[in-house]
Structures are given as structure tokens and as C-alpha cells.
């Protein structure tokens, strides 16, 4: 299970949307809960890239490509997520230059 989520993190961080889709489907087939795939895979992958962006290692185009990969994975997960899974309040800040 952990290996699959680590691969999702890497795929999202690399902006590989096709690999992200395959890995998310594979994780669902391995009975990993959708909320775990979201929180411990997709979100951590984009956070890792966000840290790299803060440090000046990654640039805005790379972040946008990774967000696209995350969104592709999220589209697969959407039917498996219920409102009960997402019970915490979150803040999202979007911006552009």
C-alpha cells in the first residue's frame, strides 16, 4: 500500500498525469480508501512540489503541470469520495502572476 502511495506522490510531483491516473486506479483496485489516496498521495505530491517552488528549485510551469496531474487523479477519485470523508474545513488560496 505504502509503495503505491509513494509512486502517486512521485507521479504528481513530476507532473505525469497519465502515470497518476494509472496509479490511482491501481490503488483503488488494491482497496486503498479513496480518502487515503487523496490525503497521502495526491495532496502530499503537490505539497512536495510546493516546497520545491518556495525554495526556488521548481518554477510555476512545473507547478501548473503537477496540478493538472493531481486534478486527473482527483477526477478518478471523485465518485469514491463522500461528504463524510471530507469533514475538515480547508483553506485554498489561488493566485497568478
Instruction: Express each pLDDT in 31-45 by its tens digit.
Output: 999 999 999 999 999
- Virtual torsion, Cα 9, 11, 14, 17, nearest 10 deg: -130
Rounded to the nearest angstrom, the gap between the alpha carbon of residue 59 and the centroid of all alpha carbons in its chain is 18
Give the global pTM.
0.79
Q: Which fold has domain 2-80?
A: 1.10.1240
Close Cβ partners of 14 (under 8 Å, ≥ 6 residues apart): 66, 69
What residues does each domain of the chain span? 2-80
**Residue 85 per-residue DSSP state:** T
What is the C-alpha separation between 93 and 76, in angstroms, rounded? 23
The pLDDT, as a whole number, for residue 89 is 67
Amino acid at each position: 500500500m505504502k509503495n503505491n502511495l509513494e509512486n502517486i506522490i512521485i507521479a504528481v510531483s513530476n507532473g505525469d498525469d497519465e502515470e497518476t491516473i494509472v496509479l490511482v486506479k491501481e490503488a483503488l483496485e488494491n482497496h486503498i480508501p479513496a480518502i487515503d489516496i487523496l490525503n497521502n498521495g495526491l495532496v502530499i505530491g503537490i505539497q512536495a512540489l510546493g516546497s520545491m517552488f518556495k525554495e526556488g528549485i521548481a518554477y510555476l510551469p512545473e507547478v501548473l503541470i503537477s496540478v493538472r496531474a493531481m486534478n486527473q487523479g482527483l477526477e478518478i477519485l471523485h465518485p469514491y469520495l463522500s461528504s463524510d470523508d471530507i469533514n475538515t474545513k480547508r483553506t485554498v488560496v489561488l493566485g497568478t502572476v
